[in-house]
Amino acid sequence: MAHDDTLTCSECGKSFTLSSEKRRQYPGWKPKLCLDCYGQPKTHIKRELNLTTAEVLERFSGGPDTGVFTDGSCERNPDGPGGWGVVKAIQNKPIAQKYGHAEITTNNRMELTALIEGLKTVAADERIDVYTDSMYCYNIATKWAASWKRNGWTRGKKREQVENLDLVKELHELTLMHPKATVRWIRGHDGSLGNEYADSLSTAYTREVV
């Protein structure tokens, strides 16, 4: 059975899980940093805050050049203001984008909302990759949600309540409605133009210029 306990990195704010081997080796261990951030200097892992989309296009060119890229953000996670962003790109050219925000939210809810809105930009029979840099969202979309649904929308041996259930259900339905779209994980803030652009949209609510 897939292990669905998630932790939130105190440095980058992303959700992550421990491998079965690590859980057996260190029972009860709840690290504060994800593997991407652990042991890295802060200058490496801190995003460049508040870049506009125009600045992103000037600075970045890496990563997949075609697909739907999604990202969410939250200040003072949890229960602070946050935003989400989606960009659809063909050969590194943005052809569609949308974004939004919430006054009180969490990073995971914004990441889920972004992925949901990203799938809504995809035609029912469209074959395209949809990217998220949240392992939490990726696991929900690709395996956890189906398992939770079979268990009456509960998780784990203790049948615990699924967090963000409203968004989890919507995401699961959208993945079923888009069988040719593939949800993929992408490393966040690693120079990928699509990811950086979606991140810029997710923080657009904090700026006058998108």
- Domain borders along the chain are 49-206
Q: What is the dotted CATH code of the domain comprising 49-206?
A: 3.30.420.10
Q: Provide long-range contacts, Cβ within 8 A and 24+ apart, for 166-173.
A: 167/109, 167/112, 167/113, 167/116, 168/112, 168/140, 169/145, 170/116, 171/112, 171/115, 171/116, 171/119, 171/137, 171/140, 171/141, 171/145, 172/140, 172/141, 172/145, 172/146
Q: Is residue 36 over pLDDT 70?
A: no
Dihedral of the alpha carbons of 129, 132, 133, 135, in degrees to the nearest 10: -110
Identify the band that residue 25 occupies on the pLDDT scale cut at 50, 70 and 90.
Answer: confident
Identify the band that residue 4 occupies on the pLDDT scale cut at 50, 70 and 90.
Answer: low
Average pLDDT rounded to a whole number, residues 176-187: 97
**What pLDDT, on the 0 to 100 scale, is given for residue 78?**
85
Question: What does the pLDDT look like over 77-88, one tens digit per residue?
Answer: 888 999 999 999
Per mean pLDDT, which range of 33-42, 105-114, 155-164 is the poorest?
Answer: 33-42
Look-up of token digits 């052809």: 95
Q: Is residue 1 over pLDDT 70?
A: no
d(C-alpha 93, C-alpha 70), whole Å: 15
Q: Is residue 15 over pLDDT 80?
A: no
**What pLDDT, on the 0 to 100 scale, is given for residue 116?**
98
**What pLDDT, on the 0 to 100 scale, is given for residue 43?**
34
Identify the band that residue 49 occupies on the pLDDT scale cut at 50, 70 and 90.
Answer: low
Adjacent-strand bridge partners of 195: none
Mean pLDDT of the chain: 88
